[in-house]
Amino acid sequence: MQSPADILENIWTSAGGDKAALERVRLTGEQPQIPSSFRVAVAGQTTIAAAGLAAAEIWRLRSGQVQDVSVDLRHAVAECRSERYLRLDDKPPPPAWDAIAGVYRTGDGRFVRCHTNFPHHRDAVCSVLACEPEREKVQAALMQWKGEAFETAAYAAGGVVALMRSYDEWSALPQAHALAQLPLISIEKIGEAAPKPWPQRYANGDRPLAGLRVLDLSRVIAGPVAGRTLAAHGADVLLVSGPDLPAIPWLTIDTGRGKLTTFIELKTETGRAMLRELLKDADIFSQGYRPRALAALGFSPQDAASLNPGIVYVTLSAYGHAGPWAERRGFDSLVQTTTGFNHAEGRAAGVDGPKELPAQMLDHATGYLMAFGAMMAKLRQAREGGSWHVRVSLAQTGRWLWNLGRLDGGLNIPDLSGEAVHAAFIESMPSGFGMLKAVRHAALLSATPAQWSRPAMPLGSHPAQWPARS
């Protein structure tokens, strides 16, 4: 079984990182920290460390100053469950899930998981089942369906559901075979451009990413975590949402730290023109919408590279950019379900049915890998020019996590308590919602400490423009 240091080395060098830089990283703490048969804690620690080391490397190139990076395992786990520890005016988060979200049996004895936190996804499930949005009625209707048939029908109707599969069942699917041919992070040159110099005049000039401009078009967890991480290292991150797009408020607060936030209606030509103007002056464009959704509006990677040669374009998907499921929508809980994690964790716990991982680790780890990939691509752009496309997926992160190995007895340890987290890793800060208590960033950089210099604000609080660099 690989050590955390070996795992980090593989992530770092696979993206072109200089192996010598790893000497400046310290990983502390004993696994597993939270109950799971999978190495979820180490997954969080190593992906956070990779992003922190990328920021430190950018700082070295911009300033000539080297620095140390350290990540504590317990702190990393806390940050990878940051949404559950957030407090607003000392109040805990509301229930995370819609009333009919979750696991159901089907008529053929299988299990399916429905994700209904967005109203249109809930409506799609109820439309297919021809029932009211009540848990008992959904369960009764599903007894008339075979699990895989319902999964197929719900996706065709615009819903997001997953059949629980064993790892062997998942591995036999063409989509799993397609993922096996892809790297954990894909970084590809998609156009020619001169190297862009690092900004010379900027506010917050003591930060690795100071002056860099990031367009964040993402929702829920993975994509927003990537933007939050880039903001922690000094980037100007502008979260672009739509006034009519559904959002999950508590997640918006937690992942909105450090960001500006604006509304742009991309269904109108006026809105698309606004985004094009922002894109022309951006360094990184990070998006996690349904595959091809932004391309249909004129914002594909190739469109972005044409508008702004030298752009780093980051794409998040659920199941990867190759294979028959490349355009399938999905969330962490669904990818866990369909790729074998819930089945394996349930078996390890002696449960008849699915058991979730103790963190939405596919989301969080993928978010840190997005930020890491964006920074590594930006380093390449500054060194050799070009426009770059970074691609990650929840399912590929899951494949990587599975291959880290299993922990005998990992489910038997006590869970990390909220009291322990609040005693060690929480900071207080004002926000546009009230006083927040939230988990600090777990990557500790010795010369440029990570911090969020902007408060979390309600969506749409800022104009659609970049702050001045000086």
Query: For residues 282 and 312, what is the distance between their CA atoms, to the nearest angstrom?
Result: 9
Could you tell me the two tokens for 101? 């979200």
Pairwise CA distance, residues 69 & 320, whole Å:
30
Mean of per-residue pLDDT scores for the chain: 95
Residue 292 pLDDT: 84
Q: What is the pLDDT of residue 95?
A: 78
Mean pLDDT over 255-283 rounds to 97
pLDDT of residue 470: 58
Residue 293: left if φ>0, alpha if ψ -120 to 50, beta else—which one? Answer: alpha
Go through 6-45 and write b for each residue having 16 or more CB atoms within 10 A of its CB, e for each that does not: ebbbebbeebebeeebbebbebebebbbbbbbbbbbbbbb
What confidence score (pLDDT) does residue 349 get? Answer: 96
Q: What is the DSSP string of 347-401?
A: HHHT-SS----SS-HHHHHHHHHHHHHHHHHHHHHHHH--EEEEEEEHHHHHHHH
Q: Higher confidence at residue 245 or residue 447?
A: 447
pLDDT tens digit sequence for 335-385: 999 999 999 999 999 998 999 999 999 999 999 999 999 999 999 999 999
pLDDT digits (tens, 9 = 90+) for 133-164: 999 999 999 999 999 999 999 999 999 999 99
Mean pLDDT throughout 43-65? Answer: 97
- Give residue for tokens 């620690």: 45
**Would you call 429 helix, strand, or coil by DSSP?**
strand
Q: Give the model's pLDDT for residue 120.
A: 86
Q: DSSP class of residue 38?
A: B
**Nearest Cα to Cα of residue 145 among 117, 176, 99, 114:** 114
Flag whether pLDDT at 32 surpasses 90: no
Q: Average pLDDT for residues 282-304, to the nearest whole number?
A: 93
The 8-class DSSP code of residue 340 comes to T
Angle between helices 394-403 and 361-384 (to 10 degrees): 100
Q: Phi/psi at 338 (nearest 5 deg)?
A: -85, -15
Does pLDDT of 201 surpass 70?
Answer: no
Q: Are 183 and 320 in contact (CB under 8 A)?
A: no
- Please give the span between the terminal C-alpha atoms of the chain, in angstroms, as a whole number: 49
**Cα separations in angstroms, 167 against 129, 229, 405:** 28, 31, 13
- Structural element, H or E, at residue 191: strand 186-191
Q: Which has the closest alpha carbon to 368: 270, 207, 222?
A: 222
Per-residue pLDDT for 316 more than 90? yes
Q: Which residues contact 42 (CB under 8 A, 6 or more apart)?
A: 4, 7, 31, 73, 404
In the structure, what pLDDT confidence band is assigned to residue 244 with cuts at 50, 70 and 90? confident
- SS3 of the chain: helix, strand, coil, percent, to 5: 40, 15, 45
219: pLDDT strictly greater than 90: no
pTM over 0.85: yes
Q: What percent of the chain has pLDDT over 90?
A: 88
Return the pLDDT at 246: 82
- Write down the pLDDT at residue 276: 98
For the segment 423-438, what is each residue's pLDDT rounded down to a tens digit? 999 999 999 999 999 9
